[in-house]
Amino acid sequence: KNKSGSSYGSGSGVSGLKMFIAGTSGNDVNEYTLSTAWDVSTASFVDSFSVSSQETKPYGIAFNKSGMKMFIVGIKGDDVNEYTLSTAWDVSSASFEYALDISNEELFPTGIAFSKSGEKMFIVGGHGDDVSEYTLATAWDVSSASFVDSFDLSNEDTFPSGIAFSKSGE
């Protein structure tokens, strides 16, 4: 199975006690609970949420700080899919909200990250071998996103598939 994913910060509302994996085999997001923070050997499966109506090859995943918003990118839809969770960090409570077409900047989006404030979004992928930066007029609302610029990664890597920032963003 091809499973990949990343999320904002700890990826959990309770530091390191939740893990989320976006997978192309089931076209879903799988949620796990860790009985010991940051120790994947203590993970147990909780639930999954299908994103197949929006994306059939999900690769990247991110959450906002509160765990009430989830964002998925993948190589089939060429968009960013935004979901609202009625229960924080519970993917079974997700509902689709909006899809932002990013095909002008990236045809194979594989990774997504946000600034701590949720006012910047970054997409990495294999078509342009770059990082695309967007500004969100409303934090954590991809319908308010506008493209800013891109940073070429082709000298260092081709078909980049993940992106993460340090906690401070530096």
| Chain segment 71-116, per-residue pLDDT in tens | 999 989 899 999 999 999 999 999 999 999 999 999 999 999 999 9
Stronger pLDDT, 154 or 51, i.e. the higher one: 51
pLDDT at 125 over 70: yes
For residue range 56-73, what is the model confidence (pLDDT) as tens digits? Answer: 999 999 999 999 999 999
Q: Quick one: CA dihedral 15, 33, 19, 134, positive or negative? A: negative
Share of the chain above pLDDT 70, in %: 90
What is the arithmetic mean of pLDDT over 26-31? 95
* CB of 117 closer than 8 Å to CB of 42: no
pTM for the whole thing?
A: 0.88
Share of the chain above pLDDT 90, in %: 71
pLDDT value at position 127?
80
d(CA 92, CA 97): 15
- Residue at token pair 């994306």: 55
> In which element (H, E) is residue 58 found?
strand 58-63
Q: What is the largest CA-CA distance in the chain?
A: 42
pLDDT value at position 152?
77
